[in-house]
């Protein structure tokens, strides 16, 4: 990981749907509480691998939603079915749920979370605030316990390496078996099964589509590319800086504040988005393990074995950055990003302006006029960095949209219909 991404959001373009002002009567402003705890989460996710960070994001944000919604009762619950105590503070419940989930997941940061709880709920020792914090903590306990048996800690059977062309081979610098294989069979948060949004098989090695995308990543993704522009290199590094949860949760933070969402709506948005990302990762890893396809670094080195006369091997080819140690098809970053962007577009309208920066590229800002444009740049970035064929990103985009649509249609529905 190169570091955390931060994002700033500009005003929406004309024609985007209006968003209702805050309706929950809470002090401090609801967005401030949600954003502060989300930032605390992201601070602790900074060094976590992408799939792990995304799973944690879904645990924390679903806990916060169920805690708040258990009090305001505006939407159907996600996991928690108990009723909240009478006259509990919804803002305190949000903080209590985030606090408990984070301290259970990151026990070494307990002091940081203690200080943040004291700042966001200063009167937590009595009355509505005390009831809210206790309720939020109990909801987080339930969800963390539920996810403790989701298969994350399962040990998959030993990986069997295949000599067949097109199958995954170990890549430098680790040269070990593919990691995160347990995500392929993990219990989803919302979708019916890891195979629900399974993509079609990738293009055959001897097909014209494979040759086209092979030529593109070979030319644009190599470390010393003569055709990748400075902007292309910048794009690859910008989107390769951290996990998708850091990018899209920060975008959501700024939109929540800029659009003055109420507490329940803000927690619902964060939960839907993080659950969609987590289930997209599960679906993607299921497909990665099913198809077991090689990375460009292997494909280009061993092109003489692929049976395609249009692909020329290059044993000296290296990607812009070191290749992640797991299978290529489909793209995890593209799938998670598309699922997050689809949830945000559903809430705010696709034509919403936002900008992304990273401390690893000082002075660099990429601005977008739509969520579609941001996701399109993710696809370019994965090709330009030398990690993926374009078809792997395209397939993941379809999966991400499908997962997001399912989450939006089935989870946290309005109680009034």
pLDDT at residue 276 in the model: 98
Task: Give the integer Cα–Cα distance in Å for 143 and 40.
Answer: 19
Least confident among 29-43, 96-110, 183-197, 278-292:
29-43
Least Cα distance to 273 among 225, 327, 330, 345 occurs for 345
pLDDT higher than 60, residue 24: no
Beta bridge partners of 167: 293
- Set out the domains of the chain in order of their start, with CATH numbers: 9-155+176-410 (1.10.606.20)
Task: Give the integer Cα–Cα distance in Å for 302 and 300.
Answer: 5
pLDDT at residue 362 in the model: 85
pLDDT at residue 260 in the model: 85
pLDDT at residue 6 in the model: 35
Of the chain, the percentage scoring pLDDT greater than 90 comes to: 85
Report the sign of the C-alpha dihedral through residues 230, 50, 67, 18, in that order: positive
pLDDT higher than 70, residue 23: no
pLDDT at residue 352 in the model: 97
Task: Give the integer Cα–Cα distance in Å for 399 and 408.
Answer: 14
194 band by pLDDT with thresholds 50, 70 and 90: very high
Q: What share of the chain is helix, strand, coil (3-state, %, to 5)?
A: 55, 5, 40
Least Cα distance to 392 among 170, 179, 182, 210 occurs for 210
pLDDT higher than 80, residue 7: no
Find out whether 355 and 9 touch, Cβ atoms under 8 Å.
Answer: yes
- The tokens for 399 are 């999966």
pLDDT tens-digit readout, 276-322: 999 999 999 999 999 999 999 999 999 999 999 999 999 999 999 99
Q: What is the mean pLDDT of residues 207-235?
A: 98
Q: What are the backbone angles phi and psi of residue 167, rounded to the nearest 5°?
A: -80, 150
pLDDT at residue 15 in the model: 30
Q: Which residues have CB under 8 Å from 308's CB, separation 6+?
A: 205, 206, 207, 210, 211, 214
pLDDT higher than 90, residue 25: no
pLDDT higher than 70, residue 75: yes
pLDDT at residue 29 in the model: 63
Task: Give the integer Cα–Cα distance in Å for 171 and 295.
Answer: 8
**Which 3 state secondary structure label does DSSP give 270?**
helix
pLDDT higher than 90, residue 13: no
pLDDT higher than 80, residue 360: no
Report the chain's mean pLDDT, rounded to a whole number. Answer: 92
- The tokens for 60 are 């924390």
Q: What is the mean pLDDT of residues 81-90?
A: 94
Q: What is the mean pLDDT of residues 343-347?
A: 98
Find out whether 90 and 264 touch, Cβ atoms under 8 Å.
Answer: yes
pLDDT at residue 417 in the model: 63
- Around Cβ 240, how many Cβ atoms within 10 Å? 20
pLDDT at residue 357 in the model: 78
Task: Give the integer Cα–Cα distance in Å for 222 and 226.
Answer: 9
pLDDT at residue 242 in the model: 81
Least Cα distance to 204 among 214, 194, 195, 196 occurs for 214
Query: Which runs of E-coded beta strand occur in 34-119?
Result: none
With residue 403 as reference, give the H or E element that holds it: helix 390-410
pLDDT at residue 120 in the model: 95
pLDDT tens-digit readout, 152-175: 999 999 999 999 999 999 999 989
Q: What is the DSSP letter of 322?
A: P
366 band by pLDDT with thresholds 50, 70 and 90: very high
pLDDT at residue 151 in the model: 98
Query: Residue 179, exposed/middle/buried by CB under 10 A (0-12, 13-18, 19+)?
Result: middle
Q: What is the DSSP letter of 329?
A: S
CA-based end-to-end distance of the chain: 43
8 band by pLDDT with thresholds 50, 70 and 90: very low
Task: Give the integer Cα–Cα distance in Å for 66 and 62.
Answer: 6
Q: What is the DSSP letter of 165?
A: T
Q: What is the DSSP letter of 170?
A: -
pLDDT higher than 50, residue 3: no
pTM of the model: 0.92
**Which 3 state secondary structure label does DSSP give 153?**
coil
pLDDT at residue 1 in the model: 36
Task: Give the integer Cα–Cα distance in Å for 263 and 267.
Answer: 6
Report the sign of the C-alpha dihedral through residues 375, 402, 247, 182, in that order: negative
Find out whether 44 and 106 touch, Cβ atoms under 8 Å.
Answer: yes
Beta bridge partners of 365: 357
């Amino acid at each position: 990981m190169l570091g955390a991404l931060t994002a700033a959001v500009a005003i929406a373009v004309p024609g985007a749907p209006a968003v209702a002002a805050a309706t929950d009567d809470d002090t401090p402003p609801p967005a401030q509480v949600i954003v502060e705890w989300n930032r605390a989460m992201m601070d602790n996710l900074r060094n976590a691998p992408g799939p792990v960070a995304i799973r944690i994001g879904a645990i924390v944000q679903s806990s916060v939603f169920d805690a708040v919604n258990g009090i305001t009762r505006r939407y159907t619950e996600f996991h928690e079915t108990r009723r909240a105590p009478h006259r509990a503070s919804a803002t305190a419940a949000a903080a209590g749920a985030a606090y408990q989930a984070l301290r259970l997941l990151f026990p070494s940061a307990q002091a940081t979370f203690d200080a943040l709880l004291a700042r966001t709920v200063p009167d937590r020792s009595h009355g509505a605030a005390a009831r809210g914090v206790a309720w939020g903590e109990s909801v987080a306990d339930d969800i963390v316990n539920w996810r403790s048996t989701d298969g994350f800690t399962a040990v998959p059977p030993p990986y069997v390496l295949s000599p067949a062309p097109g199958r995954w081979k170990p890549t430098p610098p680790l040269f070990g078996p593919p990691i995160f294989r347990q995500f392929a069979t993990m219990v989803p948060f919302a979708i019916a099964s890891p195979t629900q949004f399974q993509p079609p098989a990738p293009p055959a090695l001897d097909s014209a589509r494979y040759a086209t995308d092979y030529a593109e990543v070979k030319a644009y993704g190599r470390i010393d590319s003569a055709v990748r522009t400075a902007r292309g290199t910048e794009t690859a590094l910008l989107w390769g800086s951290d996990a998708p949860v850091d990018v899209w949760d920060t975008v959501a933070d700024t939109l929540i504040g800029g659009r003055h969402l109420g507490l329940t709506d803000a927690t619902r948005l964060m939960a839907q988005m993080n659950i969609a990302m987590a289930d997209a990762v599960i679906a993607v890893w299921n497909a990665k393990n099913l198809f077991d396809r090689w990375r460009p670094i292997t494909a280009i080195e061993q092109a003489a074995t692929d049976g395609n006369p249009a692909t020329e091997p290059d044993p000296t080819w290296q990607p812009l950055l070191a290749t992640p140690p797991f299978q290529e098809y489909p793209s995890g970053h593209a799938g998670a990003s598309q699922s997050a962007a689809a949830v945000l577009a559903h809430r705010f309208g696709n034509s919403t302006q936002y900008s992304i920066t990273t401390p690893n590229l000082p002075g660099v800002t990429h601005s977008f006029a739509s969520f579609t444009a941001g996701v399109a740049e993710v696809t370019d970035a994965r090709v330009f960095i030398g990690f993926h064929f374009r078809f792997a990103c395209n397939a993941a985009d379809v999966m991400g949209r499908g997962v997001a649509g399912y989450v939006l249609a089935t989870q946290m529905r309005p109680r009034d219909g």
